[in-house]
Amino acid sequence: MKKIIAANWKMHKIRPEAAKEAAVLAQSLVKGTPDNRLVVVFPPYTDIATVADAFSGVNNLAVGGQNFYPAESGAYTGEISPAMLRDAGATWALTGHSERRHIFAENDDIIAKKTAFGLAQGFKIMLCVGETLKERDDGELKSVLSRQLSTAIAPLSPAERDRLGDKLAIAYEPVWAIGTGKVAEPQEIIDAHAEVRDLLRGLVGDMAKDLPILYGGSVKANNAGAILALDNVDGLLVGGASLEATGFLEIIGA
Which residues are marked as active site?
A: 97, 173
Q: Site residues (CB under 6 A) for ligand PEP?
A: 8, 173, 178-179, 216-219, 237-241
Q: Which is nearer to ligand PEP, 82 or 130 (CB)?
A: 130
Q: Which residue is nearest to ligand PEP (CB)?
A: 239
Chain centroid to CA 2: how far? Answer: 15
Termini Cα distance of the chain: 16
Minimum gap (Å) between residue 217 Cβ and ligand PEP: 5
Strands 61-65 and 92-95 come out as parallel
Which residues have a Cβ under 8 Å from the Cβ of 17 and sit 6 or more positions away? none
- Residue 162 CB, shortest distance to ligand PEP, in Å, is 29
* Surface-to-core class of residue 137, CB atoms within 10 Å of its CB (0-12 exposed, 13-18 middle, 19+ buried): exposed
Provide the minimum distance between the beta carbon of 173 and ligand PEP in the complex, in angstroms, as a whole number.
5
Instruction: Give how far the C-alpha of residue 191 lies from the chain's centroid of Cα atoms, to the nearest Å.
Output: 20
